[in-house]
């Protein structure tokens, strides 16, 4: 079963999905500047990354994907490697979004919202618990508490 994405407006941006808008809320709560779909790149095929994130440890690309039952089985996309290599910036891929109390750090549970880091060297690493440590608790609460129902724009 596939769930259709719901276009959502937040912070003056029209996102393709609520999940993307929630990530923008998370970035705002962390104080990290972001650009949504800032520019496209010619890889083997045209590619428009979701975010350019102005992270305190350096700029990076950020791609949002839906939850997966087994992210470690997700084939890595060659365009991710190519973009990271050509731009010299790492790319983070987030599968879904962590919700406080969901037990995603528990190794006995599926890692439905793990992440992947693709480095400019071409190395790709699965991150089983993507930014779930306690310093991010407030940002997770802000992102998960944003309401977009009935035309609202979050917050």
What pLDDT is attached to residue 105?
Answer: 59
Alpha-carbon distance values, 49 to 53, 80, 144 (Å): 11, 9, 23
Going from N- to C-terminal start, the domains of the chain cover 13-147
User: pTM of this prediction?
Assistant: 0.81
What pLDDT is attached to residue 152?
Answer: 46
Q: How far apart are CA 113 and CA 109, in angstroms?
A: 11
**3-state secondary structure at position 149:** helix
What pLDDT is attached to residue 133?
Answer: 60
Alpha-carbon distance values, 21 to 94, 100, 111 (Å): 13, 18, 22
Q: How far apart are CA 110 and CA 70, in angstroms?
A: 7
The H-or-E segment that residue 55 falls in is strand 51-55
Contact 34, 62 (CB under 8 A): yes
Q: Divide the 155 residues of the chain into consecutive groups of 10 and give the mean pLDDT of each group.
A: 78 91 93 93 87 92 78 67 92 80 62 77 77 70 78 49
- Give burial (CB, 10 Å; 0-12/13-18/19+) of 149: exposed
């Amino acid at each position: 079963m596939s769930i259709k994405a719901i276009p959502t407006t937040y912070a003056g941006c029209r996102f393709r999905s609520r999940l993307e808008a929630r990530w923008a809320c998370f970035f705002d709560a962390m104080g990290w500047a972001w650009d949504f779909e800032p520019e496209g790149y010619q890889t083997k095929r045209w590619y428009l990354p979701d975010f350019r994130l102005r992270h305190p440890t350096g700029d990076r690309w950020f791609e949002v994907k839906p939850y997966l039952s087994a992210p470690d089985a997700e084939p890595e996309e060659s365009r991710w490697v190519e973009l990271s290599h050509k731009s010299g910036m790492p790319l983070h891929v987030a599968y879904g979004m962590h919700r406080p109390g969901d037990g995603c750090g528990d190794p006995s549970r599926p890692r439905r919202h793990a992440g992947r880091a693709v480095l400019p060297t071409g190395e790709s690493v699965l991150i089983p618990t993507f930014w779930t440590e306690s310093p991010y608790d407030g940002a997770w609460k802000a992102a998960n508490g944003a309401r977009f129902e009935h035309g609202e724009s979050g917050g």
